[in-house]
Structure 1
């Protein structure tokens, strides 16, 4: 099976073993929904990056996790725990909480029922605390990751919501080393997300 996958291009041999091949990369970029959202979002991500000089992310929900669809990396601020195509639990990220806050109640219930597994000692593991956080996010339309996905790292995110009030993803800036910096850049994230949301049904 491995030999067949190597021949097809799904896997590549390296001196130390195997790695994913270029064929999988090509297939991943053919997924219509994610490609369309990424293409639409890219100018907003680039503007957000130029405004903040922080790492900028676009993510969508898949089950009880977020999947990173695009990531523009700040040279001086590495964010090693996330990558394009990578996944993290919804409840442990600003991106995920921004999406959850505007999702139907049954989605939130499913996340809670699956168990709020922590990534760091700061991750939310209590249902009441998560519900309180989501209520605050709905009010301000900005979510924060306060060292919940990686210690020493802060993030601000805002949801992408279409005309039917359905969240289709979220934008974020991440890699900041203080909550005060995250709060300072939150308006830029919110502005970008609101502008992109208005384009979703255009």
Structure 2
């Protein structure tokens, strides 16, 4: 709105310079883009991300089979192979040796992590496997996919707004440089005679 008011004011102002009018048009264009292009870009990115993620969710739900595993024993820690991040994850999700039934009915045994704080031999816990019976992470929830899509849309909207504002500032900076260059040229022409009119010099 301020850009539109400024544009209207500069249209009929006798002191208006060409750069003033150009700056007002740039501000108005940036305002329109911020009001229209930024939300549309964010919405389009969010919808696209949500469509892709929901497709992944459906594929994971089809490919990953829920089952129940039984703790055999606590997994032995490999000395020198744990990073600080991995150690923290294993404190939250301890690794155990467990056995479970694959989709084809065969028995499998392997080292997996559990959501239990303490896992003892004989404890049962939910586990997901692929069609071949290997332990995999649980499929992504539809709500989680929507949250990621929302974040993606907001990120694109913010980046688009940043680009529009950056472009506006660059154009205004160039206009200011042109304005100052014209002022310098005008002053170079009038400066030597400044204050000398009518003095007879």
TM-score by length of 2: 0.25
Q: Which has the higher contact order (CA 8 A, sep 6+)?
A: 2
If each structure's strand is expressed as a fraction of its own residues, which one has the higher value?
1
Normalised to the residue count of structure 1, the TM-score between the two structures is 0.25
User: Which structure dedicates a bigger proportion of its chain to helix?
Assistant: 2
When Rg is computed on C-alpha atoms for both structures, the one with the higher figure is 2
